[in-house]
Chain A
Amino acid sequence: MDDRSDEILVAASCKGDKSAYSILAERHYRHVFAMCFGMLADIHDAEDIAQDAMLKGLLKIAELREGEQFGRWILRIAANLCIDLLRRQKRVKLATAEHPAQSRQTTNDNHDLHWAIGRLPKELRVPLVMYYFENKNAKAIAERLNISHSGACQKIRTARQQLHELLTGR
């Protein structure tokens, strides 16, 4: 476990030290993946975009002004890539007009939950997903998403309530 700070690792990465960037990637990958999964509600898309974000971060690292902000910076890159993907997907759906009505899979509880998570608005899904990936630490979510602690709690609460409503069809 490398205990060098993000700031030091960013500085080393800027000088071309790829191993330093790898440590940053390892350290932050989990959060980036959680953000992508929250935005996209699809594991495979989230894997692809999280990887793209990490590679884009590597190429753009010299543009990062404050090394200690790497965590937020890489999350923003990931969020932007997710938005781009969602926009492209939306365009494809509009262009082909073959988007079938979203049908609910009810084979078991997990399918139901996956379905319900996918139906949540992404503003609620992102904090909810990150909450479960972050050992249920709302404060950490607030910091990562750059929102207040109470704002994060509120979003998680609303997400849970809406999820229940989706699951019970109310």
Chain B
Amino acid sequence: MNSVCDKMKDYIADMVTGTLSQENARILNQHLSQCPACKNYAQALKEEDLLLSKIFTNIDVDMKNRQQRVLEAIEGCSLPKPKNSISTRLEPGRKIWRIIMKSPITKLAAAAVIIVAVLIGIHELGGILYGASVAWADVIKPILNAQTARLDIIIGSQENQTVIHDEIMGSRIRRTVSNVKHTDIIIDLQQQKVLTLDNVTKTAVYIELGGLDNLQNYVELLRNTIVRLQNKPDFQVDNLGLQEIEGKDYIVFVAESEKETITIWADPKTALPRRIEQKTPNMQIVCDNLQFDVVLDESRFSMEIPDSYVIQETAIDFQKSSESDFIEALRIWAEVIEDGQFPDNIDLGNIVKIGPKLEQGLKRAKLTEQQQLEVATRFAQGLVFLRFFKGEGKWHYAGKGVKLGEADKAIFWYQPKDSESYRVIYGDLSVKDVAPSDLPK
């Protein structure tokens, strides 16, 4: 067997299932006349096809009886009271409106991308807190002991901010995102599953998250990082005194390391943190309106899909994103989201704002719901590539103003681990190995 035979195996399967083109059938027949292994494979598949047909014919024999039982069940079932015909059937004008407003999956697809972006960001930013002093210890105490929490997460600059509101209970998070309306996101970190519910169109998407070991919620991340870092000998915290937020004074602590800065605003009387800001070269995350040990209704964290919701399923693997997945994400970004142009930047702040644009792009592309979810999944899967840089800034993006297809313009370059040269991606999405001295300026 060789690579030709591998290709012929596809042809053989297509031949058996009747989907092989005439041209390929001719090529296949020629190959079969010379290759006994493929000939045997074709014979085996044909025999299996006959057996499969027989099995399904046997199952089919009882179909009429099954149908009859269902019809009897329908007969015995009492119908709900018929509604007024105007309210249940759509008038022509309204129907058009409904069709335009349909496509619920666009919103959920956009939400899925944002969830992934936030998971990447928060996960990778975990591990950057440095600090301990008496007052600091008081401030972090609620974080260390909290069972539940409520908070807002703002990623990126303060302009046009997208607010992610989280309620946290154990390993589950209930999340809403300000630019994705009427949509609830429930994340089960232990099961590594995300359930996205569009409460208007009654549509649900389950996302299986693979490859994220020990996924922690924001509070757990803070807690574990603090515990780990409190013993560091070079640890230092500055107390900046009081600062006012919305008419109330808060005591401010700043903890810095070479690459990251953490600022905490806490109530001077109760020591409860109100706001935590994390800054790295590539990202800024603000966690605001923090409340710990709030009373939360457990039913709001259920992963069960409410009755009558339409369900779609997808999966994202956080270990398997490759350079080609990332290039595919760049292509989708330019082709579907930005109308032929690469985005101004690809940092997390920009990704979380992408919701409405992605929705519009998917609608413009006139894809089926299944295809929309596939595109959004591929996009998110490609973005996962950025997590492997661990927020250390060893990549550079220069796609601002570049159009898809511009082969002479470099849009992204990075240095793979243990490599001397850089990988440079160009506007036509081709890739070249480039020596550090030859990198674009």
Give A residues with C-beta under 8 Å from B. 11, 14-16, 18, 21-22, 25-26, 29-30, 33, 37, 43, 47, 50-51, 54-55, 58-60, 62-63, 65-66, 76, 79-80, 83-84, 109-110, 113-114, 117, 129, 131-133, 136, 138, 145-148, 153, 156-158, 160-161, 163-164, 167-168
Instruction: Kindly supply a per-residue 1/0 record for chain B positions 63-101, scoring 1 wherever the CB is within 8 Å of any chain A CB and 0 otherwise.
Output: 100110111011101011111010011100001001100
Give B residues with C-beta under 8 Å from A. 9-10, 13-14, 16-19, 41, 44-45, 48-49, 51-56, 59-60, 63, 66-67, 69-71, 73-75, 77, 79-83, 85, 88-90, 95, 98-99, 102, 206, 305, 308-311, 313, 368-371
Nearest CB of chain B from residue A20's CB, rounded to whole Å:
11
Given contacts A16-B79, A133-B56, A160-B13, contact A146 B369 (CB under 8 A): yes
With a cutoff of 8 Å between Cβ atoms, the chain A residues found around residue B371 in the complex are 147-148
Main secondary structure of the interface of B (DSSP, over half): helix
With a cutoff of 8 Å between Cβ atoms, the chain A residues found around residue B70 in the complex are 25, 29, 50-51, 54
Nearest B-chain residue to A114, judged by Cβ: B55
Q: Is the CB of B311 within 8 A of A156?
A: no
Nearest CB of chain A from residue B10's CB, rounded to whole Å:
6
Q: Is the CB of B75 within 8 A of A63?
A: no
The A-B contact count (CB < 8 A) is 138
Nearest A-chain residue to B98, judged by Cβ: A65
With a cutoff of 8 Å between Cβ atoms, the chain A residues found around residue B53 in the complex are 132
Q: Is the CB of A164 within 8 A of B89?
A: no
Given contacts A80-B309, A109-B51, A160-B13, contact A147 B85 (CB under 8 A): no
With a cutoff of 8 Å between Cβ atoms, the chain B residues found around residue A148 in the complex are 371
Q: Is the CB of A25 within 8 A of B71?
A: yes
Task: Sort A-B residue pairs by CB-CB distance and give the 4 closest, nearest first.
Answer: A16-B82, A132-B56, A157-B13, A62-B88
Given contacts A54-B73, A113-B51, contact A83 B17 (CB under 8 A): no
Given contacts A14-B83, A14-B89, A51-B73, contact A157 B10 (CB under 8 A): yes
